[in-house]
Amino acid sequence: MRVRPIQPDDRDDWLRMRSALWPDEPEIELASEVDAFLQGGEPEATGLSAVFVSETGSGQRTGFLELFVRNYAEGCVGPAPYVEGWYVEPALRGSGVGRALVGAAEEWAGQHGFSELASDTQLENEASQRVHEALGFEEVERSVHFRKTL
């Protein structure tokens, strides 16, 4: 297994995995974001600063991690790369793929002068919380969001 920056040939697999991660999002919107990033769009326009993909020795894509440098991230001092999307094929979870993807993100962050990496997960996603903690993330805040239809 190896992790590397995303390439145009990864488009369809990346889109497939994004659709699995965010099944309620319209595929056309997910595809538009993928295409904008692969065409070299600016991070502010694409919402992404870096994307990494994991693959097997035979080239099968097994996961991805998307980063965007946010001006503010809870618990961080100054701008920080934020894990906007992180997905590993279900059959490979717990095998080190997620750890390798986070390692690539950490390396990218260090090379770009950052000393922190931020992320989040949903309150009910205890498995993701455990994985974050196992990889050295520390919880800095919990929140409940509201909306009111008018």
**Which domains does the chain carry?**
2-134 (3.40.630.30)
Full-model pTM: 0.91
Neighbour-count burial for 7-30, b at 16+ CB within 10 Å, e otherwise: eeebeebbbebbeebeeeeeeeeb
* pLDDT tens figures, 12-55: 999 999 999 999 999 999 999 999 999 998 887 777 899 999 99
Query: Please, what sign has the CA dihedral across residues 18, 24, 25, 28?
Result: positive
Q: How many CB atoms lie within 10 A of CB 123?
A: 10
Structure tokens, 127:
């498995």
* pLDDT tens figures, 83-116: 999 999 999 999 999 999 999 999 999 999 999 9
Rounded Cα gap, residues 124 and 149, in angstroms: 24
Rounded Cα gap, residues 80 and 70, in angstroms: 6
Residues 62-69 have a mean pLDDT of: 97
